[in-house]
Structure 1
Amino acid sequence: MTTPPATLIVVDDDPEIRELLADYLGRHGYRALVAEDAAALSALLDHATPDLVILDLMLPGDDGFAICRRLRRHSEVPIIMLTASADETDRILGLELGADDYLGKPFNPRELLARIKAVLRRFHSQAAVASPDQARLVAFGGWQLDRVTRELIDAEGTRSALSGADFKLLQAFLDHAEEVLSRDRLFELSRGRPSPPLDRSIDVHVCRLRQRLGEDSQQAPLIRTVRGAGYVLASRVDVIA
């Protein structure tokens, strides 16, 4: 049986970009649908289930941040965010809201295609990890992680959902517990591609993940900084179920 092509939705208010990407992605074996804003995307989602969404940050009405936040309330569909902004804060916020990758405008369609393939590979790999015959719950340092629902569970059993970026970074630490990981290695493990030159966004993400783990300066952190080398998860990891 022939595998149907992956369905991609391109959300961009520029008709030339929509047409260019729909044509380019179609020629590379994808089913490409387009939407100019949040309302058009919502209409598409009523009858289409995308494998990945390519989402422009600057849109009329609800911007890419609002759309990303809304999608993440009920879906784990991979999201690649497009942004013309040079502000690193925008890119970090997009990842914190659950985007899987970002690409600055203007961009080479070949690079976007490569990122689509990488994100889809990573998504399917994570889905395989979360299959019933694999460990769903792991424990570390007084916490548990549910790898199916992507929720942290504290000592009292309270659950809290992780963003896509937080989950992938924590998963990288858990897979390499008690191993010193450089910033470049963490970037590659959590995002599926090499780190850009001089990029320090991993530091911001580690800081945010520490906050999610309730760490402060008065306690020995689970995620420790190794000067000149990177970071290490200073805890063993045990399989629960």
Structure 2
Amino acid sequence: MARIAIVEDESHLLGDLVEYLSGCGHEVEGCADGVALDAALTRGPIDILILDINLPGEGGFSIAGRLRAKSDIGIIMLTARGLNVDRVVGLEIGADVYLVKPVELRELEAQVRSLARRLKLTPQPGPAQSPAETTPPAPSTSAADWAFDQLSWTLISPEGRTVKLTGNERVFIALLVSRPGEPVSRDEIFRALGKRGWDPADRSVDSMVRRLRAKGAEAVGQPLPIESVHGIGYAFAAAVGPA
């Protein structure tokens, strides 16, 4: 099960969430604001963060952004702000899941379990292993192919090294690897990310690609085969095999 921090300033809702998720077997800590969350983080690592947007002091978007910049913590936005633009902003800054209040507690716990599986937090059954053998091998690929694992949100290099993806990165990579070597237009990319279409003044996709290239180069030791196609958009310039 996961170690969860919930940041919510409505005390009754916070109490209900902590009680329910604790009853499901998770280790849960409730926080009224970003200051309390930072204190919780000093006491130990958090696997999954459930985060409101409208908070006293530092807002949820700011908290999510600064944590995503330095960690792979799972982030579930749980907020009354249901506008599409808020959802897009939340996913853009690195949230893995965006839920709108009111939400069924069973649905929230299902999202927690799903995210925990993607983050590989749920122990898998198997024979006992020595400490040196506890890290599972990456899924195999052919010697020349990259692979994309939709379930774990992971891009896998031909050498078996992995790049964990955020929500928007997953959508972007899934679109590119569905047609390897073929340019995908900016308009199609923007629409897949929940926008109305390409806006030349919106540089968010270019910024995401820069971050993704940097993260990929650090994780796999080589540049990701994501190429800009002048006047069109982007292409995945490598063969893609099954994950």
Amino acid at match of 2:52: D
Of 154, 171, 174, the match for 1:172: 174
1:53 to partner: Cα distance: 0.6
1:219 alignment counterpart: 231
2:72 alignment counterpart: 76
1:57 alignment counterpart: 53
Q: Give the distance between the partners of 1:214 and 1:203, measured in 2 at CA.
A: 22
2:10 alignment counterpart: 14
1:50 to partner: Cα distance: 1.5
Of 119, 123, 126, the match for 2:115: 119
Contact 2:21 2:28 in 1 (8 A): yes
RMSD over aligned Cα atoms: 3.8
Matches within 5 A, 1:1-241: 5-124=1-120, 133-134=138-139, 148=162, 164-173=166-175, 176-178=178-180, 202-204=193-195, 208-209=204-205, 212=209, 219-222=231-234, 235-237=237-239
Q: Which runs of 5+ in 1 are unaligned?
A: 151-162, 181-199, 224-232
Partner SS for 1:82: strand
Q: Give the distance between the partners of 1:238 and 1:111, measured in 2 at CA.
A: 34
Contact 2:2 2:116 in 1 (8 A): no
1:124 to partner: Cα distance: 2.1
Partner SS for 2:36: helix
1:187 alignment counterpart: none
Change (3 A) 1:75 1:58: same
How many positions carry a matched residue from both structures? 187
Partner SS for 1:26: helix
Contact 1:166 1:205 in 2 (8 A): no
Contact 2:47 2:73 in 1 (8 A): yes
Amino acid at match of 2:6: V
Contact 2:46 2:73 in 1 (8 A): yes
Partner SS for 1:103: strand
1:132 to partner: Cα distance: 5.8
Partner SS for 2:195: helix
1:64 to partner: Cα distance: 0.3
Partner SS for 2:64: helix
Amino acid at match of 1:99: A
CA deviation vs aligned residue, 1:192-238 (integer Å, no higher than 9, x gap): xxxxxxxx66343995546736857x534446xxxxxxxxx6x5436
Q: Give the distance between the partners of 1:206 and 1:132, measured in 2 at CA.
A: 40
Q: Which runs of 5+ in 2 are unaligned?
A: 122-134, 148-154, 183-190, 199-203, 210-225
- What TM-score, normalized to structure 2? 0.63
Change (3 A) 1:133 1:83: closer
Change (3 A) 1:89 1:214: farther
Contact 1:177 1:236 in 2 (8 A): no
1:191 alignment counterpart: none
1:31 to partner: Cα distance: 1.1
Change (3 A) 1:203 1:93: closer
Contact 1:78 1:123 in 2 (8 A): yes
